[in-house]
Structure 1
Amino acid sequence: MGRGILLTSNLPQLQNLIKRDPEGYKEEFLQQWNHYNSIRRIFATNPDEQASHFRELVAFISQVATCYPKETAEFPSHLSTLLLENYGTLSPDTRKTLLQNLVMLRNKDVITSIELLKSLFPLLPRTTSSSLRSFIRKTILSDIKTANIRSKNHKLNRAVQAMLFGMVERGMEGEVVGDKGKLRASNAAGPTTDRTANNGEEAMWAVILTKELWRKGIWTDAKPVSIIALGCFHPVVKVQSASIHFFLGSDEEKEDSDAEDEEDIDVKALHHRREINKKTRSGDNKLRKQLNAAKKKKHNKPTTATPNFSGLQLLNDPQTFGEKLYDILNRYDKRFSLDHKILLMQLLSRVMGSHKLCVLGFYTYIVKYLTHRQLRVPAILVALAQSVHDLTPPDAVTPVVRKLAHEFVHPGVASEVIAAGLNAIREVCRRQPWSMEEDLLGDLIEYRKSRDKAVTSAARGLLQLYREVNPGLLKRRERGKEASMGMASGTQPLAFGHSADAAVDIEGLALLEDHLQKLRDEENVVMDEDDEAAWEGWDADSDSSDSESEGWIDVSDDDEPLHISDSEDEDKPKDKEPPPDAEPAADPSTRISTLATTKILTPADFALLNDLRIQAATKAVETVGGSRAKRKLATLEANKKAVQAATQPEDAFISENDILGPRKKAKADYAERMASIAKGREGREKFGSHKGKKNKETPSSSTNREKARNKPIMMILGSSAVRGKKKASLREKQQKLRAHIKKSKNQFSFGEATRKFEPICPVGELSIYHEALGLIRCRNVN
């Protein structure tokens, strides 16, 4: 009994003894367990009474719960119930203790991840402590990340995604209030359906966690995209904005006040600290590491926002998604601010461009914003251009092009406005060339004679575009040599809705066939046996369960070939003369190769094929020459770089710089001017001058004599001092020279001994002109 009394007052000692011998101290544990149940009942009715003792008991039982699993089976549910039902009445210390011990039970595998997350998710929108909120967030992310390290934990992922989807869905029935003017304040205070699920905090946290798990690469399938896609239609504007930024690839908004923001490394401060501190080798190594980290961070920092193309591609039913976005944009146009409407326009346009959707009402809606006085009009023009594609009906785009020309391209606006209008028209017409009218095109390309560089460049770009895609809309003298030759040979652009004929061969495949045949002849080996090795190092997703097969069936050459064709021209000869615009003779791609019918081309084969095409094009430039061969070589090299660096289709998205084009340095706004002024005032007192205050005991300004030394010669030519020197008599010049010689003699003193100088010949015998010029040679008497 004496031992039990002592252990009752010393829980850490009892905890240590229990971990060493659970069976020997089971009676003492049961005594503490009964005491815990009594305190828990009292604490449930009055949380302020015995709170500290209750926290000690909770921490003690959490530490030894693994030693007595049957007795403590209900302990985790006790903690979870207290947190979920009495969270508002608990003290901050008690909340923190209960959460920490609940996480400890998960780390000891007393509870599963799903049980822990079911308790943590509802607490995120309810807590007001930034440190506790950060702790919950880190715990959720780390637990899910740990569960998916070795392999995907599909059971946990499905459960968590279902919880997040429910958090977003619970607030979808609320009314869209908006964020424009007074509506922003009413959205924060007005009563709605359960304050729209806690004013959207629950849905906001669901979106934040989903975005973080996507960014870390833990979730990469379509389910997290569906959660965020649902958030794009949430009635709370901040949830909409956070979800839209995910697809746009720009997380400019602050998701949470306690989010971890990486501070920029001050390189100048590092160098300054190194000069002051003691010089050591370890200090040099530390400085070098910090500078390398700063350089790497600056290099990896993206300059512009990159759209989340993979997220856009994983959208389920993009047509319905785009129509819902347009419905929200059109219905709540008066309630949303301009910035939020531009976000909706950008997302809708990118979805339309990526999936080639037709939401024709969008072009009618955006027309009212196409004025040169509209705020943020470059972003609106970008959204317009991105929404157009080759399947967009020209009849829907032609009024928009006409509106752009009427508002932006005329002599009554600035040159920057004209350049932006021409660039926007070019981007729209590049995606749908048939939206341009012949008369309007003739007027627009006349701006290539402008004196402004940006306008000239934009007009020439539009002219070059139609020389390539549809030269028939241009006048004969504006078509250029190649376009005129193409029209003379009968080449016509494809009409709207028509596509090119099916390909009968892979361009340049004959080069690869010849290359492989040359290798076989040189090495005398069969290259097809190493095809499996050619797939190594390339991204080739395959399902192992579907890859089982019985192997290839060899077909002898004696068997009759099987012809399957739906074409009516089977009897026509296959050998045709090359078209007039065929490739140069150095590239034998006009020959139809049979390599693709006898061999499965690997990614390495296609990479080699691209290199061979570039080599053939380079040889054609060196031998044949001509602008056409050079353009083909440039196109092949550009495509190779695009395949290596980009993961999205070419020209899928554009930026505001593509609309504005090359321009002069813009005039600094008020914020930039103030920043420049503040930078110039650093390190000086108030607004005083630095002159005359350096290396002086008493501050003073510079003298007039010091100022005269720095004046330009043209400013002092008319001064009395300079005029006096020009008009001085010979006698005045002689007096000045004698005074200078006398002063110079008095200055030749070295220490204690004074050296005396005398002229080689008496001064009186010198010519007055030599004396005036200072040609007096002296010798050292000593």
Structure 2
Amino acid sequence: MGRGVLLTSNLPQLQNLIKRDPIAYKEEFLQQWNHYNSIRQIFTINPDEQAQHFRELVSFISQVATCYPRETAEFPSHISSLLSESFGILAPDTRKSLVQNLVLLRNKDVISSTELLKTLFPLLPRTSSSVLRSYIRKTILSDIRVANLRSQNHKLNRAVQAMLFGMVERGMSGEVVGDKGKLRTVNGHTTDLDGHNNDAMWAVVLTKELWKKKIWNDAKSVSIVSQGCFHPVTKVQSASLHFFLGSDEDDDDSEDDENEVDVRSLHHRREINKKTRSGDKKLRKQLKSAKKKKHNKAPSTPNFSAIQLLNDPQTFGEKLYNMLNLYDKRFSLDHKILIMQLLSRVMGSHKLCVLGFYSYVVKYLFYRQLRVPSILVALAQSVHDLTPPDTVTPVIRKLSQEFVHPGVASEVIAAGLNAVREVCRRQPWAMEEDMLGDLIEYRKSKDKAVTSAARGLLKLYREVNPSMLKRRERGKDASMGLASGSAPLPFGHSAEAAIDIEGLSLLEDHLQKLREEDGVALDDEDDDSMWQGWDVESDSSEESDSEDWISVDDDNCDLVISDSDDEGQLRNKDVVVDDIAAAVTPRISTLATTKILTPADFALLNDLRMQAAVKAVETTGGSKAKRKLAALESSHQAGISDPTQDEFISENDILGPRKKAKADYAERMASIQKGREGREKFGSQKGKQAKAVPSSSTNREKARNKPIMMVLSSLAVKGKKKASLRDKQQKLRAHIDKGKKSRR
């Protein structure tokens, strides 16, 4: 009896003994289990009564639950029901204890990850404590990460994605009134939007975190965030839009935004506060931390893979445009620009035709519009080779009328010309011939940015459609191309099918060279045996030859083919073709048909392309080779394996080369430090005695030695004589304050 009383009153000691010998102390555990059931019934009715004792019992049973699985089978459901049904009336310590014990049961494999996450997901939007909310968030992310560590846990992922999709879907039927989309009025009372605002927000935030950590990278994750783009709450929309745009500016739960250091305010505070050694040490530590964060912060890049994984992108783009058009007066300009940017990138990536977008964006195309460079970027990004030219022509005409005329600044003209160039680069047939002639005349401007923009437009049409230019403006290559009969493809016509990968012959030659160095022949017997039977011999059947060759009537043939092997020219009876080199077909590599190319091969192929482009620039020095090298370098920096595909443009492409912008604080400090190099002391040496070469005295020193009669007639002395008592008091007070500051 004494032992039983002692053990039941000391739960940590009983817990230790049970873990050592569960069978011997089963009666003591059952006694505590019955006591727990009694306390739980009382706690359900009145949570404030015996809360401390209840938390101790829950922690004790959670620790020893694995020793008695049959007796504690219903214990996890008790905790889950308490958290889900009575979470709002529980004390903060009780909430935290119940959540921690539920996580402990998951770590001991008493419950599954699905059961844990079903309980924790609804608690995120209901939790007011930032500490508990952060703990729940980290627990959810770590549990999913561990489950997918070795291989994809598809069963858990499908269950969690279904829960997150349901969290977003529950608030989709709500109606929102107001600019921010947070509240609505029902019967004169302002209420929350069906209580599901935070549910959808947390679903989007968690999906973004799992995508960022590369735990989820499938189409189902993208569908969750894509559904959030059409949520009635503007905050959820913004978070979803930023996911596809590759930025986290709208994530309010991000710790980086909360802990961001303002360098300018630190320096200002240091100047006005008292100077101490501890203050200097603290300032250096904060500046070092801010510099490290700025260095480690990754630049925001568009989420290419997420945009490519969109399900039914045409419907997605149309819904984005309908939302943009319907709520044009409700949304702020920044939010509308977010929608424009995502819509344009989806249109450009999937080559969609949402024709109403071009008529919508026209009303924002004037140079006084706020954030007009971002709007011009969205407009240019939305155009592609399948966009009807008749739809884009009014937009180009509007750009020319609003941005390119003598009544605006040179920066505006340059931005307009660059925007027209980016639009026409994607759809050249949208330009009118008369308008093109007027725009390229700006290449004679005195401003460098305007000249560069106009020349860029001229170079573009020299390549894509030189027939729209005047003869003196076409250039040598374009004129020769027109003389040879080459013409651009009209709208709707596509080029010939791809028969080879660009630069693949370089990779083939490189691999052959490596094999020759290693002493391995390219035509190995094993490789021949592996590919034996895949190729059909050309002389195996006469019928195949007859099907491939087309009979030509020799009566009207003007060509005479020589039987001699020494003669390699084709002669015409009337005209002899001398330039045979122009008709030589390019070399087609067979490496893709004999080898499976790996990502390492493609990386090596990109390096070989870069080396070949550099060599071409060094040998020829032509503008075409330079542009190709620039395209390869830009694609390499952006991480794009195929430089031929359309890249997302930025505001710098629209603004073009500008004059030196106003330097920020860091640039000014760097310039000051550079100017101080090689100087012993800062400041002027004039009037100071400790100098290597003596110089004349200053005006202040000369004033001290002036005759008194000259000083009496000065304006300074006359002003002092005529000064009032109030002026003298103010000067005296200023003198005293200045003296106090100098003595500090």
Match of 1:499 among 488, 494, 500: 494
Show the counterpart of 2:362. 367
| 1:253-268 map, 5 Å | 253-256=250-253
**Alignment correspondent of 1:252:** 249
Verify: 1:383 aligned to 2:363, yes or no.
no
Any idea what SS the aligned residue of 2:69 has?
Answer: coil
The 3 A distance-change label for structure 1 pair 8 and 599 is closer
Q: Equivalent residues in 2 for 1:744-759 (5 A)?
A: none
Give runs of aligned pairs for residues 353-752 of structure 1, distance below 5 A. 353-504=348-499, 525-527=520-522, 553=533, 557=537, 560=540, 590=585, 592-593=587-588, 595=590, 599-600=594-595, 602-603=597-598, 626-628=620-622, 631-632=624-625, 635=628, 638-639=631-632, 642=635, 646-647=639-640, 650-666=645-661
Q: Cα offset for 1:255? A: 2.9
What whole-Å deviation, never above 9, does each CA across 1:716-763 have from its counterpart, x for those lacking one?
8xx999999xxxxxxxxxxxxxxxxxxxxxxxxxxxxxxxxxxxxxxx
Q: Which residue of 1 aligns with 2:138?
A: 138
Cα deviation 1:160-219 (Å, max 9, x = unaligned): 000000000000001143526xx7676899868x83242510000000000000000100
* Residue segments in structure 2 that go unaligned for 5+ positions in a row: 268-275, 279-283, 553-558, 562-567, 571-576, 672-680, 708-744
Provide the rounded CA distance (Å) in 2 between the counterparts of 1:530 and 1:264.
Answer: 66
Give the 3 Å change call, closer, same or farther, for CA 251–613 of structure 1 in structure 2.
closer
Distance 1:449 1:191, change over 3 A: farther
Larger mean Cα displacement after TM superposition, 556-565 or 245-254? 556-565
* In structure 1, distance between residues paired with 2:47 and 2:433: 81
Aligned-residue sequence identity (percent) comes to 67
AA matched with 1:553: G
- CA 1:265 to 1:340, structure 2 compared with 1: closer, same or farther past 3 Å? closer
Name the amino acid aligned to 1:202: D
Residue 600 of structure 1 and its aligned partner are, at CA, apart by 3.4
Shift of 1:607: 6.5
Between stretches 454-463 and 633-642, larger displacement belongs to: 633-642
Superposition pairs of residues 105-116 of structure 1, within 5 angstroms: 105-116=105-116
The amino acid across from 2:540 in the alignment is E
What per-residue deviation string (whole Å, max 9, x for no partner) do you get for residues 418-454 of structure 1? 1111111111111111111111111111111111111
Q: CA deviation at 1:12?
A: 0.9
Structure 2 counterpart of 1:107, one-letter code: N
Q: 1:60 to 1:359 in 2, by over 3 A?
A: same
Deviation at 1:500, TM superposition (A): 1.4
Query: What residue in structure 2 maps to residue 308 of structure 1?
Result: 303
Match of 1:228 in 2: 225
Does the Cα contact within 8 Å between 1:353 and 1:652 map onto a contact in 2? Answer: no
1:90 aligns with 2:83: no
Change over 3 Å in CA distance of 1:102–1:230 after alignment to 2:
same
Q: Could you say if the C-alpha distance between residues 214 and 313 of structure 1 is closer, same or farther in structure 2, counting changes exceeding 3 Å?
A: same
1:336 and 1:648 map into 2 onto residues whose CA distance is 37
CA gap 1:381/1:714 in 2 versus in 1, 3 angstroms: farther
Do the aligned partners of 2:610 and 2:632 also contact (CA within 8 Å) in 1? Answer: no
Shift of 1:621: 6.9
The whole-number CA distance in structure 2 between the counterparts of 1:474 and 1:564 is 48
- What letter corresponds to residue 301 of structure 1 in structure 2? K
The question of whether the paired residues in 1 share the 8 Å contact of 2:411 and 2:655 is answered with yes
Whether contact under 8 Å (1:505, 1:592) holds in the other structure is no
Instruction: Tell me which moved more, 241-250 or 517-526.
Output: 517-526
Alignment correspondent of 1:219 = 216
Q: Which residue of 2 aligns with 1:743?
A: none
Match of residue 16 from structure 2: 16
SS in 2 for 1:348: helix
Native 8 Å contact 2:686 2:698 kept in 1: no
**Residues in 2 aligned to 1:224 and 1:391: alpha-carbon distance in whole angstroms:** 29
**Aligned equivalents of 2:183, 2:546: Cα separation in 1:** 66
String of CA shifts for 1:352-402, please: whole Å, max 9, x gaps: 001000000000000000011111111111100000011100000000000
Structure 2 CA distance, aligned partners of 1:261 and 1:130?
13
Compute the displacement of 1:601 (Å).
Answer: 5.7
Q: CA deviation at 1:715?
A: 11
Q: Which of the two has higher C-alpha Rg? A: 1
Report the CA distance shift for 1:42/1:529 in structure 2 as closer, same or farther (over 3 A). farther
- Assess, with a 3 A threshold, how the Cα gap between structure 1 residues 368 and 451 changes in structure 2: closer, same or farther: same
Q: CA deviation at 1:490?
A: 1.2
Residue 155 of structure 1 aligns with an amino acid whose one-letter code is K
Distance 1:188 1:257, change over 3 A: farther
Name the structure 2 match of 1:70.
70
Residue of structure 2 in register with 1:28 after alignment: 28
Out of 312, 317, 328, the residue aligned to residue 317 of structure 1 is 312
Q: What's the counterpart of residue 201 of structure 2?
A: 204
Partner of 2:728: none
Matched residue SS, 1:527: coil
Change (3 A) 1:208 1:25: same
Distance 2:211 2:546 in 1: 46
> 2:379 & 2:569 partners in 1: Cα distance?
44
What residue number does 2:322 align with? 327
In structure 1, distance between residues paired with 2:607 and 2:550 = 34
SS where residue 14 of structure 2 aligns?
Answer: helix
Q: Distance in 2 between matches of 1:576 and 1:240?
A: 68
Listed as ranges, the matches of 1:290-301 within 5 Å are 298-301=294-297
Checking the alignment, whether the CA contact within 8 Å between 2:687 and 2:698 is kept in structure 1 is: no
The size of the alignment, in residue pairs, is 652
Amino acid at match of 2:469: L
Identify if the C-alpha distance between structure 1 residues 576 and 489 changes in structure 2 by more than 3 Å, giving closer, same or farther: farther
Q: How many Å separate the matches in 2 of 1:253 and 1:633?
A: 40
Tell me the TM-score normalised to structure 1 length: 0.73
Unaligned 5+ segments in structure 1 are 270-274, 278-286, 533-549, 681-693, 695-701, 725-782
Q: Which amino acid in the other structure matches residue 88 of structure 1?
A: G
Task: Give the TM-score of the pair, scaled to structure 2.
Answer: 0.77
**Any residues of structure 2 matched to 1:252-291 within 5 Å, and which?**
252-256=249-253
In the alignment, the residues of structure 2 paired with residue 170 and residue 658 of structure 1 have an alpha-carbon distance, to the nearest angstrom, of 42
Structure 1 residues 590 and 300: alpha-carbon distance in aligned structure 2, compared to 1, 3 A threshold: farther
Deviation at 1:602, TM superposition (A): 3.1
CA drift at 1:713: 9.3
- Structure 1 residues 173 and 594, CA, compared in 2 at 3 Å: closer, same or farther? closer
- Which residue number corresponds to residue 175 of structure 2? 175
Change (3 A) 1:30 1:490: same
